[in-house]
Each structure stands twice: as structure tokens, then as C-alpha cells.
Amino acid sequence: MTVDNLINWFPFGAEWPVITFVSAVLICAIPVFLFIAVYALVAIYGELKISSFMQDKVGPMGQGVGLHAGKWGLLQPVADALKLILKEDIIPESADKKLFILAPFVVFVGAFITFAALPFSQEIIVADMNIGVFYILAVSSLGVIGIILAGWSSNNKWSLYGAMRSAAQIVSYEIPAGLSIITIVMLTGTLSMQGIIISQQGIIWGFLPNWIIFNNPFSFIAFFIFFISGVAECNRTPFDIPEAESELVAGAYTEYSGMRYAFFFLSEYANMFVVSGVAVAAFLGGWNSPIPGFMDSPPWGLFWFIGKSMSLIFLMIWFRWTFPRLRVDQLMSVCWKVFLPVSFVNIFGVGIWNLLVG
């Protein structure tokens, strides 16, 4: 379901190229948006429930009378979303109104356009670019501009703190994330997401699926570096210093409420999916079945991809509800003193490995 296919498929493509292009993009974008919305509800529900279970609670439950949140609180995220949409939209008087309004959309767009290069299954991908990995790395850091806008335009010291921290953090963690992706590119020799996944078909070491994470010890480490950097890019605990509710109230989002806050929320969850999706595609075989040949047809590809991504999201939730938060300088030192050197060692190691084994 790539955009290119759609454009080719339209009969009047040659006459009205603009209309064709826009409609092709819209046809792809609307399902993706719906997917994000539905996925966010599921993820919020999952977060509520998993965090509750980890904390010896039962989470949202709806038994008995009145306006309860459905069986097992299934309607809780819907209720949350409705509440956020219906709430009064407050813009502080001293805020920079235009930027204040713009910020949540910039953040969301940053997360949203990344989905264009996520390979959901053999066929379902919006645009199978030959520079897919590069594209994702490039656009995923767009969100930080939105956070800086939000922080600056709120005209609030907490927001500004949050924004500055966020900028420093996301920009720094781009580097180890990018460097660990480079190891993939070295191993597979392609920048296309589908290409990377296709190269992971089959079996390695006799019994393991031929996923890059199992390919060699360096790629195994690279996965963790990428994933943890991804967690940091999503501003999730233990790297949630831009939000840091015990220090900065709500960081960059302090002054936001209602719908606009919901957009930040949505983009946080969308970002989580992006990070997990890229990690799955790059290291965990994408839409390939964990048992090669078993349930490996295209419809199952979608299941495997989302399933694997969700398990990584579960891991993020698990992190969040277990760990304390790092301090901003420690966050930086973890990035620059641990992840960065290890990534370089990884690149070097993968190169050697390719030379000797591969």
C-alpha cells in the first residue's frame, strides 16, 4: 500500500498530478491517523492496567452501577480522551498565542510522519523509501522543535526548563541511536526498511531466527543502545526529565490543557510506537515470524509487527513504573560517556565481524 502504487493505480494520474498526489497521501494518512488514535487508547489502557498491576492495584474497574468505565475499565481511555477533548481550552494571557497553538501540532506531526516509513507488513507501508532509515532518523527529531515552541511560548519558567532539558536530551540521544542503526546498515547493506526486514528472513546459528539482534554480539548490544536511546527520545521514565512531574510540575506541558495536552499525550504514545517499530524492524525481524515458515504469510506479518512492537512498549511501561528518574547531567553523561563510546566500539566490532565471519 505504498503511495507510489496508489499514484500509479489512479487512472487520471497524468492529467491532474496534484489531485492524485494529495488524494493518495490522504488515503494513506487517514488510516495511519486512525491507527495511532486506536493504538494510543490501547496503550493508555495498557499503561493504566500494567502500572496498576505492578503497584498491587487493579486499575480502572467498572463494576456495578452508574457511569463506570465499562467492564474491567475498558472504556477508561475513551473517557479520558473525551474529557480532554471537552475540557476548556486555556491559553495563558501572557503566552505567545500563535506559537502556543502551533506547538502541539508540530510535536504530533513529528511523530506522525515517521509512520510513513514504518513497515507494518510485507505490503502495508506508506512509502517504502530507499532511504527509509535515514528518513526516520531525520524526521523523528522534528518533535523537539515543537517541545521547544511549547516551552518558550508558554511564558512559564517550568516550561522553559522542560523545553531546554528536552532539547538537550533528544538531540544528544539521537547520536547513539543513529550510530547503532549504522551497524544495521553495515550488516544489511541497505537503507530501505523493507530491505532490512527482508534480509532478516531465515535461520541463523541453526535454531534462532535470522534477526539482526542474534546476528552477532555487537548487534545485540546495539539493540539495547538503540532501544534505551529511543526511550530517552520519547521522554519516558527514567529519562522523563523534560516532564519530571516532581521537579518541573509538567515541564514543557505545564500550561497546556484539554485538547492541546491530548495532542502531546498522543504524540508521546505515537513516538513510543515509532521507536518500538523501528527497533522491531531493524533488530527483531520486523514482520517476520519468530519461527521461520510458521505463520509467515502477509496478514500474519501485520500481527507479528504490531505484536513485537507492543511487547517493546510493554518493556517501556515496565521501565517507567520501576525506575527513578535520572538527573539531567547524569542523563547526559550516560549518553556521552557510556552509549556513545560503546556505539563506536559496536561499529568497529560489526565491521570486524563482517570481515571475518560474514
Q: Which residues of this chain interact with other proteins, rule CB under 8 A? A: 50-58, 61, 63-66, 157, 161, 237-238, 240-241, 244-249, 318-319, 321-330, 338
Q: Judged by CB, which is closer to other proteins: 117, or 312? A: 312
Q: Judged by CB, which is closer to other proteins: 21, or 319? A: 319
Closest CB 281 distance from other proteins, rounded Å: 25
| Helix, coil or strand: residue 250 | coil
Of 144, 138, 140, 114, residue with least CA distance to 126: 114
Q: Judged by CB, which is closer to other proteins: 124, or 163? A: 163
Q: Judged by CB, which is closer to other proteins: 105, or 321? A: 321
Q: What is the distance, to the nearest Å, from the Cα of residue 320 to the centroid of all Cα atoms in its chain?
A: 15
Helical axes 17-54 vs 76-86, angle rounded to 10°: 120
Q: Judged by CB, which is closer to other proteins: 246, or 297? A: 246
Closest CB 332 distance from other proteins, rounded Å: 11
Neighbour-count burial of 297, counting CB atoms closer than 10 A to its CB (0-12 exposed, 13-18 middle, 19+ buried): exposed
Closest CB 50 distance from other proteins, rounded Å: 7
Closest CB 319 distance from other proteins, rounded Å: 8
Closest CB 194 distance from other proteins, rounded Å: 33
**Residue count of the chain:** 358
Say if residue 238 is preceded by a cis peptide, omega within 30 of 0.
Answer: yes
Q: Judged by CB, which is closer to other proteins: 70, or 195? A: 70
CA distance 214 to 258: 44
Closest CB 333 distance from other proteins, rounded Å: 9
**How many helices (H) does the chain have, and how many strands (E)?**
15, 2
- Cβ neighbours for 277, distance < 8 A, ≥ 6 positions apart: 118, 305, 309
Q: Judged by CB, which is closer to other proteins: 16, or 53? A: 53
Q: Give the cell for residue 183.
A: 551497524
Closest CB 72 distance from other proteins, rounded Å: 12
216 touches 345 (CB < 8 A)? no
Write the CA distances from 12 to 5, 6, 19, 21, integer angstroms: 14, 11, 9, 11
